[in-house]
Structure 1
């Protein structure tokens, strides 16, 4: 497994001695691993003291990236290891508003059950309920607000 992780670091230009640093493309290991649903790499990074609240160039955190990957395991791991669940990016959106707006029903449920704030508004005054794109997510969020 360690060989696989080391190969991944090399493939993405990650310096194994400076895991909090960016690669040549300006990407962090934490965000990349989260985008790819690589829970094994997230475990390695956490064990080596990587900042779980590192942001990408858009102000998104690793939880947002794990939502993109639709990886429940990565989302859970990040939340359990201190990644801020209610972080708002440059436009005020959270992982929950992103997941709701993209129809990621099972991720929305996981985030809400893990304590995501249903009432946070983005810069346009929209909440996750306002941005829900699927009926299951809309019904779930409505029920959760009652």
Structure 2
């Protein structure tokens, strides 16, 4: 985590964290994407990994170390003491190239949970729907681009590094 990532990290302040329930971080290790969720209410760190490799925990521990060392906001949350949970019951990929789509679907599901339940049982076989998911993602990107071209976002402070 150097350069641009570290600058963005330092911009995450206590007021932002206090208004948030979850902080989602997408990490790449050896060309594999994983989702790390800092659950700010439950004070725990969850790893969403579509290939079920517990060895990916080491990159998460490095993230926690960097967050704690480089950001006073995270020091005040004492995240270095939070448990790191490897989420077991998840949809898993059976191909070698779908991890990015799985990460996006994990985020979509987490943001769509209205009752606070993290139940994945009804979503365990995503691999068979992968072509549909890819088409949905492409459609969403195109629609967002069209909408943004017509009406650019007014608050783009997050882009000003």
Q: Same fold (TM over 0.5)?
A: no
Larger radius of gyration: 2
**Higher normalized strand content (fraction of residues):** 2
